[in-house]
Amino acid sequence: MSFMPAFHVFRAEAEIIGRLLAGYGELEYIMAMCLGSALADEATAIRTLYRMKGERLTVADSLLFPLCEQNGLAGPYTAASGGMRHCARIRNQFAHCNWDYSPSHGLFFVDLLESAKSSIAYKHEWKHIDCALLNRHEEFFWNTVLWWELIRNNFIEIRKGRTIPSCEEPKRLLQPPLYNPQDEHIPPWISLDSAVPEPNIPPEAE
């Protein structure tokens, strides 16, 4: 008997998902260090952001964007913060889900909070993930790191009284989808799961 059997069967996918879940915290740290370089005060940046639990990007945005705009870094900041928000969506969908699999159909996850919201019918919205898409997720995480590092390095030079280096910007990646198309990846158990009885609504009186 094994815990998380789906991850034992789909080990390559599980490894990437684990890196994404753990790696989002690293993204937040890099963002905090970027803010610290902009303020020339890393300790204050860390204290400010890490006393927040769920609004770190919002707080960083209010402090960091004006400084980026003043120093000609609004474009890179938009790329970094937009990437950060999409990384959060990727991370959150994996952090708040349950998993199942089919050896022939692949790895699926479902958000039970979403399933429980309906007051009429209880239905799972199974979503499929595979290594091809997860590799795009991981590449997008790394690309977001590169944008934050670009901003941080520029502020380090600015605080030293130097001109902003003309370093090459990372490539701008399209945001990868959160999961594969549901109509193309239907788990074999979906017919049973979707067999929810129709609500008992009396006919209108004639």
Q: What is the mean pLDDT of residues 183-193?
A: 78
H/E run at residue 129: strand 127-129
Give per-residue pLDDT as tens, 33-49: 999 999 999 999 999 88
The three-class DSSP label of residue 201 is coil
Residues 48, 33 contacting (CB under 8 angstroms):
no
pLDDT at 200 over 60: no
For a pLDDT cut of 70, what percent of the chain falls above it? Answer: 86
H/E run at residue 109 = strand 106-110
Per-residue pLDDT band for 119 (boundaries 50, 70, 90) equals low
Q: Which residues pair with 110 in a beta bridge?
A: 98
Domain spans, the chain = 5-100+130-183
Predicted TM-score of the model (pTM) = 0.86
11 class by beta-carbon count within 10 Å (0-12 exposed, 13-18 middle, 19+ buried): exposed
Name which of 15, 35, 119 is nearest 84 in CA terms.
35
Measure the CA–CA gap between 181 and 37, rounded to whole angstroms.
41
Least confident of 93-107, 153-167, 168-182: 153-167
Distance separating alpha carbons of residues 147 and 169, to the nearest angstrom:
8
